[in-house]
Structure 1
């Protein structure tokens, strides 16, 4: 019977069945074989829908889609260039900072490549940067920002781990704080590579212009307060995460529709529909995945897996190395949302058994997923950049390889220096 179930699931995958349908089928077959009433699946879906933290996801997603549909990317690039363009190799650093900020707010790296890539690539080449370097920089920068608030994958990780309800408790603001230093480390290492790779290149220098700086600030003045909703609202303790999400979505809607007037009422329906369709797919997979996780827990699969890992891996250092290798492979074959809802419930209990804090694990997980955007065979950013810039996948592999190696170094440091992710937790800061 078990073999027949496995064959059925494989056939569903081969025939192109949606991921949620395959997971749901596995869940139903598992509970049925264990003679457990299938109403537990409905209860799990209701429990997910009733999670207060889940309210923030659609609101932040909508805000991100609204920003990506407007000219925010152009204003953000103009601002960073006006303020930092005078620095040596300033445009390369500007590209990294701008893409990280834009990815954090839109929650989608592919959108960053489409929205900012077309602006950055010709400017980088025009200023004297090598075309191959510029292509690699723009493609890699699109994956930055997934560890910064209010990144949707970051919130989703928090939701999943809180539903599992094991290990040490943490709040979403703590998870947001955990991603700050690792992101700065990634940007710093990529900036060092940018300086080294262009050390012999004569670049056009841009002098600081006060008039242009004030004009750039004025142009983006209505969007500059957005980070204050996160920093002041959440970290200041004035608003709950759902309230911050609501304030952000409402503010963005008003600014883009009535101040900048870049989103018309006729287009608003499509923007909202696209945002909610994307989120609806994630939530559907999340609901059935959590039900499947409950079945696995009932069948003691995580404990058996932990016992097997413990029998073969006797140290935390070795486990972390194996975990990174596994996550790199995972990122190469699964998109980030599928990886989150399918794998996180399985690895969290094992990691906790090795004394790894869930916050540190989340940063390791998402940092690896960032590299997964650049890794074949899936490598979503590679395909998006290939389509956007009309370049072959082979060219993009070669262009992004040095940047990916720097990100791998960053992941290694993040993994074995947990302080970078837990510096704000008194009980862990000294470890």
Structure 2
């Protein structure tokens, strides 16, 4: 066990990529102890990616890339400005609302930070906000992406923990709302203390227009409900309501109705049993193509090809991490490391709340050093069995795990959101880190709420019958 973990840590310290570090450490352990034939590495790598839920990964990544090139991010930003730009600290509030909407398409913190985050930072700088404030609120709001459905970390966790991905998606909605409210309160406090004003004049017409767009989106499920009760089949009701919505959007040219429909279609489709969470990723791609090629006509074959190649590159890196982590996690189990850690934790406490506090501390540290996908793949086989023994719901545990690792994305030495925003804002990593620190307060408050009040996470999937 010491060889496996020691080699991994040494390689990480000298700057070897996470996936390569795990792969080399695993090979070294097998070579020294001969616990299994060499072919086991290839077999475990194949087993790690031979999973139907993992098909969602490339499709959600592609959907996020297509939304970016289709110009949807700009429309979301304009909608958020109309909705909350008149508040004090308006563009900071816009940053948060924009991330909430965009998270319903990409499912990743990096896509959020690199996509709509780029627009938001530039706009805040142009309106006189300190660049540190722009970076801080963008980093904090980017963590919303993997909490609101859809979520790539939830897909990986669901696969590893054998938990319903649909239940995880639903479980993230209320915690996401809690995080959003806490961030908006934080912006209001900063605006009061630093004298930030509004960034757009209050115009009742613009506010009513944005509110009307929300009502238009809300009318979709209401229309489906009415049509079903009038005797039409569910499928026909959905098609009629969707066609009417598209026609209305085409006539009035709303700024964000079609973008706001993305999470409605995904969540509604899963709820009605039209498609599984994995198939929902394909639906997200189809909807993105419809917006880019038909509705907005902003997508060209050149940009479509670029989005496809970017997706291939990102997917390859994610799946390589998954394969390497699968071998590494298997060897942790074989070497009894998982059992030793389990015994050590249970020797300290058998109280579920104390265990969750220890898990939070451990994951916050791990999140600073490990890629999110790698961390989930390694940590779940070790910690989840303990959580189940202590009566902790696996869906609740998945939310705690994911939020901790999202916070880890904002920290050096390996916080990817930190490095992305450092490049976007042209700040040093040190200044970017200091800019993010105050915005960790609402994230830690949300983490405490989610950890100690399971009902926040479990109420919605329980009401929908996804968990008992």
Relative to the length of structure 1, the TM-score reads 0.86
Aligned counterpart, 2:22: 23
The separation in 1 between residues aligned to 2:48 and 2:416, in whole angstroms, is 28
- Structure 1 window deviating more from structure 2 (390-399 vs 246-255): it is 390-399
The separation in 1 between residues aligned to 2:463 and 2:25, in whole angstroms, is 42
The separation in 2 between residues aligned to 1:69 and 1:97, in whole angstroms, is 20
Q: Structure 1 residues 234 and 136, CA, compared in 2 at 3 Å: closer, same or farther?
A: same
2:110, 2:420 within 8 Å by CA — same for their partners in 1?
A: yes
Aligned counterpart, 2:296: 260
Deviation at 1:177, TM superposition (A): 0.9
Aligned counterpart, 1:182: 175
Unaligned runs of 5+ in 2: 214-248
The separation in 1 between residues aligned to 2:72 and 2:316, in whole angstroms, is 25
Alpha-carbon displacement from aligned partner over 1:365-384 (angstroms, at most 9, x marks no partner):
11112222222333333333
Deviation at 1:62, TM superposition (A): 0.9
Alignment of 1:28-107 (within 5 A): 28-30=27-29, 33=33, 35-86=35-86, 91-107=91-107
Aligned counterpart, 1:199: 192
Q: Structure 1 residues 88 and 422, CA, compared in 2 at 3 Å: closer, same or farther?
A: same
Alpha-carbon displacement from aligned partner over 1:308-361 (angstroms, at most 9, x marks no partner):
111123422222112111111112222222222222222212222322221111
Aligned counterpart, 2:232: none
Matched, 1:208 2:204: yes
Q: How many residues align?
A: 423
Matched, 1:358 2:394: yes
Aligned counterpart, 1:422: 458
The separation in 1 between residues aligned to 2:149 and 2:39, in whole angstroms, is 36
Deviation at 1:39, TM superposition (A): 4.0
Deviation at 1:147, TM superposition (A): 0.8
The separation in 2 between residues aligned to 1:50 and 1:332, in whole angstroms, is 28
Taking only aligned residues, the RMSD between alpha carbons, in angstroms, comes to: 3.3
2:63, 2:285 within 8 Å by CA — same for their partners in 1?
A: yes
2:107, 2:149 within 8 Å by CA — same for their partners in 1?
A: no
Unaligned runs of 5+ in 1: 163-169
Matched, 1:243 2:312: no
Q: Structure 1 residues 322 and 233, CA, compared in 2 at 3 Å: closer, same or farther?
A: same
Matched, 1:315 2:383: no
The separation in 1 between residues aligned to 2:289 and 2:113, in whole angstroms, is 23
Alpha-carbon displacement from aligned partner over 1:28-71 (angstroms, at most 9, x marks no partner):
45556354344444443443443222222211111111122332
Aligned counterpart, 1:112: 112
Matched, 1:304 2:299: no
Q: Structure 1 residues 41 and 112, CA, compared in 2 at 3 Å: closer, same or farther?
A: same
Aligned counterpart, 2:259: 223
Q: Secondary structure at the match of 2:202?
A: coil
Aligned counterpart, 2:223: none
Deviation at 1:176, TM superposition (A): 0.4
Alignment of 1:269-288 (within 5 A): 269-288=305-324
Aligned counterpart, 2:444: 408
Q: Secondary structure at the match of 1:345?
A: helix
The separation in 1 between residues aligned to 2:101 and 2:464, in whole angstroms, is 30
The separation in 1 between residues aligned to 2:253 and 2:87, in whole angstroms, is 18
The separation in 2 between residues aligned to 1:249 and 1:428, in whole angstroms, is 27
Deviation at 1:411, TM superposition (A): 0.6
The separation in 1 between residues aligned to 2:388 and 2:169, in whole angstroms, is 20
The separation in 1 between residues aligned to 2:370 and 2:9, in whole angstroms, is 16
The separation in 1 between residues aligned to 2:52 and 2:169, in whole angstroms, is 17
Aligned counterpart, 1:165: none
1:86, 1:206 within 8 Å by CA — same for their partners in 2?
A: yes
The separation in 2 between residues aligned to 1:110 and 1:288, in whole angstroms, is 21
Q: Structure 1 residues 333 and 417, CA, compared in 2 at 3 Å: closer, same or farther?
A: same
Q: Secondary structure at the match of 2:308?
A: helix
The separation in 2 between residues aligned to 1:172 and 1:307, in whole angstroms, is 29
The separation in 2 between residues aligned to 1:419 and 1:247, in whole angstroms, is 30
The separation in 1 between residues aligned to 2:437 and 2:45, in whole angstroms, is 41
Deviation at 1:181, TM superposition (A): 1.2
Q: Structure 1 residues 322 and 307, CA, compared in 2 at 3 Å: closer, same or farther?
A: same
- Structure 1 window deviating more from structure 2 (315-324 vs 414-423): it is 315-324
Q: Structure 1 residues 89 and 285, CA, compared in 2 at 3 Å: closer, same or farther?
A: closer
Q: Structure 1 residues 217 and 91, CA, compared in 2 at 3 Å: closer, same or farther?
A: farther
The separation in 1 between residues aligned to 2:278 and 2:117, in whole angstroms, is 31
Q: Structure 1 residues 80 and 290, CA, compared in 2 at 3 Å: closer, same or farther?
A: same
Deviation at 1:15, TM superposition (A): 6.3
The separation in 2 between residues aligned to 1:221 and 1:426, in whole angstroms, is 28
The separation in 1 between residues aligned to 2:35 and 2:135, in whole angstroms, is 55
Relative to the length of structure 2, the TM-score reads 0.79
Aligned counterpart, 1:145: 145
1:372, 1:379 within 8 Å by CA — same for their partners in 2?
A: yes
Aligned counterpart, 1:369: 405
Alignment of 1:286-297 (within 5 A): 286-297=322-333
Deviation at 1:123, TM superposition (A): 4.2
Q: Secondary structure at the match of 2:297?
A: coil
The separation in 2 between residues aligned to 1:293 and 1:225, in whole angstroms, is 39
Alpha-carbon displacement from aligned partner over 1:228-256 (angstroms, at most 9, x marks no partner):
32121111222222322222212212432
